[in-house]
Amino acid sequence: MKRLEADQVDAVLRRGATARRSDGQPPRFARGDRVRVLNLHPYGHTRMPRYVRGRCGVVDRDHGLFVLPDSNAHGLGECPQHVYSVRFTGVELWGPEAPDADRVHVDLWDCYLTAEPDGTEE
């Protein structure tokens, strides 16, 4: 392990450590696409929150390519993929009693999603 020395602190904090990459898998989705989050329950690390699994939403924006934590956290490589902001209605997530005007945006990696041609959301 490399030790962080006092004279490096400022530069290291300023530089940060972005997980954005310039090369990776091409995007499978675009803004406006209806998508469904896969209903997967992996034993390892994932950034797929449980409350959106199996739920349908709309791609709101494409943030670009980022290291995939699901593989990187296990030393299986960075496997950069597109991350999308997917917009869900409160009703889709929590049922008919949720206010109509509630939206939850969740940043999700490409491989968490499948196309939902018959989706009825929004």
Partner 1 sequence: MSKHQHNAPLPDPVLRVKALESLLIEKGLVDPAALDLLIDTYENQVGPRNGARVVARAWTDPSYRSRLLRDATAAIAEMGFEGRQGEDMVVVENTERVHNLVVCTLCSCYPWPVLGLPPVWYKAAPYRARAVREPRKVLAEFGVDLVDGVEVRVWDSTAELRYLVLPRRPDGTERLSEQELAELVTRDSMIGAGVVPGSKSTDT
Select from 18, 43, 75, 117 the one that contacts partner 1 (CB under 8 A).
18
Both tokens assigned to 43? 């034993």
| Binding status of residue 63 toward partner 1 by CB under 8 A | yes
Question: Could you say which residues in the range 21-50 bind partner 1, by CB under 8 A?
Answer: 47, 49
Judge contact between 103 and 87, C-beta under 8 A.
yes
Q: With respect to partner 1, which residue has the nearer C-beta, 33 or 52?
A: 52
| Binding status of residue 99 toward partner 1 by CB under 8 A | yes
Q: With respect to partner 1, which residue has the nearer C-beta, 43 or 118?
A: 43
CA 102 to CA 57: how far, in whole Å? Answer: 13
Q: Which helix (H) or strand (E) holds 62?
A: strand 56-66
CA 45 to CA 73: how far, in whole Å? Answer: 7
CA 69 to CA 109: how far, in whole Å? Answer: 9
Q: Which of helix, strand or coil describes residue 113?
A: strand
Number of residues engaging partner 1 in binding (CB under 8 A)? 37
Q: With respect to partner 1, which residue has the nearer C-beta, 15 or 118?
A: 15
Q: How far is the CB of 117 from partner 1 (least distance, A)?
A: 25
Instruction: Report the interface residues with partner 1, using CB under 8 A.
Output: 1, 3-6, 8-10, 12-20, 47, 49, 51, 63, 66-67, 83, 85, 93-94, 99, 101-109
